[in-house]
Amino acid sequence: MDTAIREWFLDRDPFAIHMLVCASYFVLTDIGKDNGKAPPIMQHFSKFTFGAVYDFLRHGEAGMTDDSVDLVPEINQWLMFDGITSFQALFGGSTAFMRTFDAYYALRPSSVHAHIREHAAKFLPKGVSIEKASRLNRMEFFAKYSEMFAAEIKAGR
């Protein structure tokens, strides 16, 4: 998940990010399915809903250039946010990259999670205002706040 988050912040290929996100997301789904800690989206949709592109990319055949698949890049954000929620429930915490993504996403949520914008302050590092954080672009946000979250984790917060 951390690699997918880093690649997303660096605005890399959404298909590569999707492969990374789905691999970790479906593992979290399998681990959490029997204890109620699976990613929240999976409680409402089947694996195929979000895994069609993932399966297409995993099982593609050489020389099949006339096949194609559409990927709505916003899906990667939904899966990362929900995957992080599951990871936190399963393992009792999250990484600095996960916290950074959650904070950025809370400030700019997709339509699926629009309700979290009103709680954005809870996702930010201690002492950072919504106004200050909102001024940073995606890469600046990642560079600055992943370091702050790492320091918070190190300090036991």
Closest CA to 137 of 104, 97, 101, 98: 104
For range 87-114, the mean pLDDT: 94
Interatomic CA distance for residues 1 and 103, integer angstroms = 16
For range 111-134, the mean pLDDT: 93
Interatomic CA distance for residues 112 and 121, integer angstroms = 19
pLDDT of res. 15: 85
For range 26-51, the mean pLDDT: 80
Candidate ranges 15-19, 56-60, 100-104; pick with highest mean pLDDT? 100-104
Interatomic CA distance for residues 8 and 15, integer angstroms = 11
pLDDT tens figures, 39-83: 887 666 666 566 655 555 655 666 654 555 665 678 889 899 999
pLDDT of res. 139: 96
**pTM (predicted TM-score):** 0.85
Q: Assign residue 36 a region: left if phi > 0, alpha if psi is -120 to 50, beta otherwise?
A: left
Question: In sequence order, which residues have a C-beta less than 8 Å from that of residue 87 and are 6 or more positions away?
Answer: 1, 28, 94, 98
Domain of 112, in residue numbers = 2-154
